[in-house]
């Protein structure tokens, strides 16, 4: 089955997301392909993401995922304090909103086991 990926190569969308992840300070090999594909599907379904350019949508998703995976200190090392503050505001807004694209990316990080412990501690997930 995995031979099919070698036969056809990686899609341009996944390559673009990989580039955005690198720019955000996160090596793309640290992110499972299933997570990348899910992010791309979520972007397709989200009206706000569809109104952005693919590059902008990927950059936004990559920054949030990098913050979730790296934690605040390491994210600041890879980016800067201003970027961390912007992503933290998006994180807080997503948690408050509960059903935005950002909230779904955060939930994806939680369920895939990629979220940094310090970030996971900031999320109150109720068992329903």
Q: Give the pLDDT confidence of 77-123 residue by residue, as tens digits.
A: 999 999 999 999 999 999 998 889 999 999 999 999 999 999 999 88
* Average predicted confidence (pLDDT) for the chain: 90
Quick one: angle between helices 101-111 and 33-45, nearest 10? 160
Question: Does 1 score more than 70 pLDDT?
Answer: no
pLDDT of residue 18: 97
**How much is the pLDDT for 127?**
40
What gap in Å lies between CA 106 and CA 60, rounded to an integer?
Answer: 12
- Give the separation between CA 56 and CA 17, rounded to whole angstroms: 10
């Amino acid at each position: 089955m995995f031979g099919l990926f070698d036969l056809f190569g990686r899609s341009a969308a996944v390559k673009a997301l990989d580039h955005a992840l690198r720019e955000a300070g996160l090596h793309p090999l640290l992110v499972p392909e299933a997570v990348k594909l899910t992010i791309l599907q979520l972007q397709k379904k989200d009206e706000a993401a569809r109104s952005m350019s693919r590059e902008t949508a990927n950059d936004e998703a990559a920054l949030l995922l990098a913050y979730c995976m790296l934690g605040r200190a390491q994210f600041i090392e890879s980016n800067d304090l201003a970027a961390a503050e912007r992503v933290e505001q998006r994180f807080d807004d997503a948690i408050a909103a509960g059903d935005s694209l950002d909230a779904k990316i955060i939930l994806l990080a939680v369920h895939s086991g990629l979220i940094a412990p310090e970030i996971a501690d900031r999320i109150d997930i109720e068992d329903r």
